[in-house]
Amino acid sequence: MTLSDKTNLVVQTYQKTQYPVMEEGVRRYFQDELQRIETAISSIALAAPQVADDPPENPVKGMVRYAVSPWSPVGTASSVTVNYTVTVSGGVFHIDGVANPVLTFVRGNTYVFDVSNSSNTNHPLRFKDGYGTAFTTGVTNSGTEGQSSATVTIVAGDSTPSALRYYCTIHGNGMGNTIDVNNSSLGDGLVVYNGSAWVAV
């Protein structure tokens, strides 16, 4: 029976004021429609794992993606340390040579920002939450910006908010950008790029 036939059945039973018949017709119609939707959802669920998520040509360290066939993540599901090299040019932070990119953190991982380049002098890189409040939980500052071995390290933990920002404490938000913080249990095949390879998280 087509959808049109089902609709006619409901209309006809209503016109004849046969309420019991109309009720049964409506019930069967929606049962059929629910079955059709459930079948469609099942098909989508089965097809989804077969869709390959191709890795980008020029990934940025910290980028998170789903790795599915035909390529597979490398490494283990243990915590990952991601190292960034920070420089300043044109009034913004450059992360591994990219001007103030949006970053992605995964809870459980450690992120080390190397701020030893002399261009970082007088540009303290720090973090704040989505409300604009300085965020210091799990953050360690070592040395002085622009000097040898200076780093800013942050461990993304359970208490780390989902939205962060890296910025300059002297020159404001414009030097940095936002950071998306994700859970490590988003699903099978979640990987993060550590600068040289995609590593399972």
Q: How far apart are CA 93 and CA 140, in angstroms?
A: 19
Q: What is the pLDDT of residues 82-94, one digit of tens each?
A: 999 999 999 999 9
- At 22 the pLDDT is 56
Strand-strand pairing, 81-89 and 110-114 = parallel
Per cent of the chain over pLDDT 70 is 64
Per cent of the chain over pLDDT 90 is 43
Spatial contact of 126 and 114, defined as CB atoms under 8 Å apart: no
Q: In the predicted model, what is the mean pLDDT of residues 56-81?
A: 61
Strand-strand pairing, 151-155 and 110-114 = antiparallel
Q: In the predicted model, what is the mean pLDDT of residues 73-100?
A: 83
Q: How far apart are CA 12 and CA 26, in angstroms?
A: 12
How many C-beta atoms lie closer than 10 Å to residue 192's C-beta? 25
- At 13 the pLDDT is 47
- At 53 the pLDDT is 54
Flag whether pLDDT at 23 surpasses 70: no
Quote the DSSP letter at residue 97. Answer: T
For residue 70, whether the previous peptide bond is cis, meaning omega lies within 30 degrees of 0, is yes
Q: How far apart are CA 143 and CA 115, in angstroms?
A: 9
Flag whether pLDDT at 80 surpasses 80: yes
- Reported as a pLDDT band with limits 50, 70 and 90, residue 73 is very low
Q: In the predicted model, what is the mean pLDDT of residues 57-61?
A: 75
How many C-beta atoms lie closer than 10 Å to residue 115's C-beta? 28
- At 100 the pLDDT is 95
Q: How far apart are CA 24 and CA 9, in angstroms?
A: 10
- At 32 the pLDDT is 72
Instruction: Tell me what the pLDDT averaged over the chain comes to.
Output: 77
Q: What is the pLDDT of residues 145-165, one digit of tens each?
A: 999 999 999 999 888 988 999
